A and B are shown apart, each in its own frame.
Chain A
Amino acid sequence: MTAEAIAEAPVRPVEATPGKQPMIGAPVRRREDRRLITGQGRYLDDLELPGAYEAAFVRTPHASARIRSIDTTAAARLPGVIGIWTGADLPELVKPIPPKVSNPLLRDMPRYPLPPERVHFVGEPVAVVVAESRYVAEDAVELIEVDYEVLPAVSSTTAALAPDAPRVHDELDDNVAIHVTQVAGEPEEALRTAPHRLSERFVIARGGGHSMECRGVAARYDVGTGQLTVWPSTQSPHYTRNMLAYFYGMDEDDVRVVVPRDSGGGFGPKAQFHGEDAVIPYVAMLLRHPVKWIEDRSENFVATMMERNQVHHVEVGFDDDGKLIVVKNVFEHDQGAYCAGLQVPMITLSTLPGQYRIPNIHTELIGCYTNMVPTSSVRGAGRPQAVVAMERMMDRIAEHLGLDPAEVRLRNMIRADEFPYKVGLTFRDGSPLTYDSGDFPSLTKAVLARFDYDGERERQALARSAGRLVGIGLGAYVEGCGLGPYEGARLRLTNDGTVLVTLAATPLGQGYETIYAQIASDAMGLDMEHIAVATGDTSRIPFGQGSFASRTTVTAGSATLQAGRELREKIFEVAAVLLGAPAEELCFQGDRVCAGGDPGRSVSLRDIVQVSNIGKHGITMPRGVPAGIEVTSYFSPERASYASGIHAATVEVDPDTGQIKILRYVIGHDCGNVINPLLVDGQVLGGFAHGIGNALYEESFYDDAGQPQSASYLDYSLPSAIEVPKVELVHQFTPSPLNPLGVKGAGEGGTIPVPATIANAVEDALRPFGARITSLPITPAKVFAAMTATNHR
């Protein structure tokens, strides 16, 4: 893949100290690379807890069932088995896990870590075995006999909403978990009077996050101190700590959650709290012995949360020029057996209008319970679906009016001088949905130029006349990112003279050890080599939210900037006393603070910290020297900042087989100011690979009884390096006014518009047949079916 920026270098918001090379915006290589590339990464399973027991779960093979009885006698007799607990054995854990994002309209049904009576999806845990090894634990699992009363299940929103559908939850009279409508303007009236109307139904399949490292938890209880230490593979250590304190009725500070330094990815599902997270530390406490559970891939396929499945009924009204008058989007959201959080459909709800000025909007969510593993955010989080709904219709409008699809988009785009732009809908925090900044037309034009759009259209025409099926697709999007409530940074001058940046947010491969050192370096005017970064340990910093929703650079980055500025002042306060020079005359030179640029009048960071944190008893601090050089800062954005972008693709379809080949792919991306262009490109390209999976390959199949049909990589097609084509990158940098760094999120933009862009291109390729592509992923089998359907017409 090639990545090439065509725009100017990013705007640098922080004036670095004169003479110092600015680090923000510099393509600094990751500090993490060496250890990861040389196999020195340390993941959860590398954690050595001598003598730790290992756990395995008994999971229901039925999508909907009542547990009549569980017989553990034979398993308990197996040598090497330490303990077995069913849900009924652990009444303390029969507490519902609350949804991460809720809504007053939600008809919430309890999700228990180890449900004692009733199970609602295949893979839900019903008992845990702790043994001397995972081998023995799995042998024991096979010996446990569960008597189930199997009940009818539903495994699609269509089945869930059918009039006589079996009910997922006995307590409810139907399977609707939530029904929310948002309206701007007069959509019904506008639809009645619009000169043109088009409608379509789009289906987007379920798929998973598929982090290379699955989930896992290890825990050790120290009877002496009453402290529980938990090592989960999570994106949100503080959330895990809070949940565990709530489950066990323990003091927050007695639960320490430490995330291993390296992570094999998160992608969303690891920002959730799963039942196993509560069970493992609890049995470790009961046993007073360390216990480890490392999820294997078979478990990951059935028990780790997934996303994406939505059915969209979209209708648009527009005028003769292709200008949008109204959009109506009614969508069924499959949230699985329980509501783990409403973030995904809420994001869909507000992402729909995208880059366009639309006076009348109706967007309506019907969230359904189904007998499948619950839904959580997976990179993109509800946005790819919204972009499919909107961007596919933009192409249909162009087709209907005989206009060029790029032109139709440009005619409808919000202009650069319209920011802050109020969309007319409400954001999920209840505030008016407002875009902070961007320049959609200019990025679109830059992408079209790079793509050589007119030339591509000419080549397409030539190819078509030679009988080849070549198509071009565009897909524009906005991404609300950098969300609150807050994230923090604690900066401290340690006793060896190093500045330690401590974050609550935990990295999943984004290079935190590098970029937060870059930010602190510019904030302080101190070289990066004197700055270290620590993450993911609740005992190091008390408050935090976690790494998800493309939010950490905005929140933790701004907190680091603020704290770095203050720490510099504190250090200079001490140096001023020691050097007898005013603070304004001081600057850093290497690891020394220097007065008036004279190396002869300087003091090292180590000496400074020795004075402020003197190791002797009964001494009086020198006047003017503060004790302990430390600053903690939290940043709370006013509202989401909006990243944006547009993708362009050329594809060719093999008329014999329906195989899709991507011939060109250009990504236009605007995430505001860039801290490290190498890492932003890495995020965009990695996200693109995810998008390719969503567009062409990945689907978690369930049969009508709710049985997973693609529960291994034999049947679940994850794209490999070969399937990810070459990409050309075009960057634009529109700073966000909502944070001092001017940054926006970069974690998901590579993914979001890929399904829509490729679907547009494939339908364009098939235009000679008039074939319709309405279901994602677009497999060759579906293309073949679409071509034959129109052949018979």
Chain B
Amino acid sequence: MKPRPFTYLAPTSVDEALAALAEHSFDAKVLAGGQSLAPLLNFRMASPEYLIDINDVAGLDRVRRVDGGWHIPALVRQRTVERSPELRAAFPLLPAALEQVAHPQIRNRGTVCGSLAHADPAAELPTVMTALDATMRVASVRGEREVPAEEFFQFHFTTSLEDDELLVGVTVDDLPPATSTGFAEFAPRHGDFALAAVAGVVTRASDGAVGAVRLVASGVAARPQRLTAAEKVLLGQRPTPDVVGAAERAARGEVDPTGDIHASADYRRHLVGVLARRVLTTIAEEGDHA
């Protein structure tokens, strides 16, 4: 469990980091919190020739308010977001999900952007960012671009980042009024990657019916999966227990997970339905009280 030899680079500015990425591109890996990359190096499952440690890069470690939303730059730790009063108030979905990511020690090091760039299909943050319709800020020496979460996550451990690109941050727009969110996951042990998870964002119209909804599941596909059939059931309806039940069945029907040593495909499909129901039930109660 020792990594293969590599050359260690520690740029101190975004420009330096981008230059290093441009030069070494496919042969380099960015090191953020190291909570996923270090094990991969030690298992020799990743063997980059260059390791570009961005921890000394200035200006990437503070959450900041931007026009109509919040920006989380690349070095903001998961634990920082989880404990930020502003972000907790703006996006209760973030702490709800982050509390279930690994353990505090790991969240103290692991970055939000690192989890997004890593794109583990079982991870919480990609699912939550997809539900929040977040925007990835991506940069290279060639310029900057913005990628919506839904286009960013492509496949197991694969994003739309090019080899020379850095994820400099993620921006989340403020939620519209009358919006409730919910998150639920099932993991056999505390801190495990979930067998399945569901995140929901529901905006109600003035009559209490669902006006907009994003329901996203993880652990069931190669990337976060929008539960569009369940969303369709909900749109225009008040989320009564019957409607929620119909959405549960729809969610169960539209996912096609694979089984492994930990859970059969059947069980995972069942869990997605249960979790969707739980998320929608909390959202419905919260909305009815508002």
Contact = CB atoms under 8 A, between A and B. Distances in A.
Nearest to B259: A781
A781 B195 CA distance: 10
A656 interface: yes
A717 B261 CA distance: 12
B266 to A, nearest CB: 8
B1 A298 contact: yes
Contact of B261 (A134, A709, A722, A785): A709
B5 A139 contact: yes
Interface stretch (B9-17, B165-173, B184-192): B184-192
A294 to B, nearest CB: 10
Contact of B1 (A297, A714, A781, A785): A297
Interface string A408-450: 0000000000000000000000000000000000000000000
Interface string A696-717: 0101010000000110101101
Contacts of B193: 714
Interface stretch (B64-72, B209-217, B220-228, B267-275): B267-275
Interface string A110-123: 00000000000000
Given A135-B2, A720-B191, A298 B262 contact: no
Contacts of B4: 139, 142
Contact of A781 (B44, B190, B264): B264
B283 to A, nearest CB: 17
Interface residues of B, number: 24
A717 B2 contact: no
A15 interface: no
A723 B1 contact: no
B46 interface: no
B58 interface: no
A69 to B, nearest CB: 24
B157 interface: no
A780 B193 CA distance: 15
A720 B190 contact: yes
Contacts, number: 59
A2 interface: no
Interface string B76-93: 000000000000000000
A662 B267 CA distance: 22
A701 B188 contact: no
B192 A657 contact: no
B261 A657 contact: no
B263 to A, nearest CB: 5
A779 interface: yes
B43 interface: yes
Identify which of B3, B262, B263, B266 gathers the most chain A CB atoms within 10 Å of its CB: B262
A720 B189 contact: yes
Given A138-B2, A139-B4, A297-B1, A781 B263 contact: yes
Interface string A756-793: 00000000000000000000000111001100100000
Nearest to A715: B261
A717 B187 CA distance: 11
A659 B189 contact: no
Interface in A606-658: 656-658
A552 to B, nearest CB: 33
Contact of A697 (B43, B188, B264, B271): B188
A147 interface: no
A785 B264 contact: yes
Contacts of B270: 784
Interface in B1-44: 1-5, 43-44
A708 to B, nearest CB: 11
B92 to A, nearest CB: 23
A775 B191 CA distance: 25
A719 interface: yes
B51 to A, nearest CB: 15
Identify which of A134, A656, A715 gathers the most chain B CB atoms within 10 Å of its CB: A656
A296 B1 CA distance: 7
Given A298-B1, A656-B274, A781 B189 contact: no
Contacts of B188: 659, 697, 717, 779-780
A750 to B, nearest CB: 20
A720 B106 CA distance: 15
A505 B19 CA distance: 60
B124 to A, nearest CB: 16
B202 to A, nearest CB: 21
B261 A659 contact: no
A297 B9 CA distance: 29
A712 B1 CA distance: 11
Nearest to A723: B189
A139 B189 CA distance: 35
Nearest to B186: A657
B271 A657 contact: yes
A699 B190 CA distance: 17
A399 B61 CA distance: 62
Interface in B98-145: none
Interface string A710-740: 1010110101101100000000000000000
A151 to B, nearest CB: 24
B195 to A, nearest CB: 8
Nearest to A779: B188
A138 B5 CA distance: 11
A166 to B, nearest CB: 23
Nearest to A711: B43
Contacts of A134: 2
Contacts of B263: 781
Contacts of B261: 699, 701, 709-710, 715
A781 B262 contact: yes
A719 B190 CA distance: 9
Contacts of B192: 717
A81 B112 CA distance: 41
A297 B42 CA distance: 11
Contacts of B191: 720, 722
Contacts of B1: 138, 296-298
Contacts of A781: 195, 262-264, 267
Interface in A257-308: 296-298
Nearest to A710: B261
Contacts of B267: 658, 780-781, 784-785
A98 B149 CA distance: 60
Contacts of B190: 720, 722-723
B189 A715 contact: no
Nearest to B268: A781
Nearest to B263: A781
Interface string A132-150: 0011001100100000000
A719 B191 CA distance: 11
A659 B195 CA distance: 12
Contacts of A142: 4, 44
A788 B269 CA distance: 13
Given A297-B1, A298-B1, A717-B192, A659 B186 contact: yes
Contacts of B186: 657, 659, 780
B258 to A, nearest CB: 14
A657 B274 contact: yes
Contacts of A712: 43
A322 B75 CA distance: 66
Identify which of B1, B188, B193, B270 gathers the most chain A CB atoms within 10 Å of its CB: B188
Interface in B217-275: 261-264, 266-267, 270-271, 274
Identify which of A134, A719, A780 gathers the most chain B CB atoms within 10 Å of its CB: A780
Given A781-B195, A781-B267, A784-B267, 7 more contacts: A135-B5, A138-B1, A139-B5, A298-B43, A656-B274, A780-B267, A784-B270
**7 nearest CB pairs, A to B:** A296-B1, A722-B190, A135-B2, A656-B274, A781-B263, A701-B261, A781-B267
14 contacts: A135-B2, A138-B1, A139-B4, A298-B1, A714-B193, A717-B188, A719-B189, A722-B189, A779-B262, A780-B188, A781-B195, A781-B262, A784-B267, A785-B264
Interface of A: 134-135, 138-139, 142, 296-298, 656-659, 697, 699, 701, 709-710, 712, 714-715, 717, 719-720, 722-723, 779-781, 784-785, 788
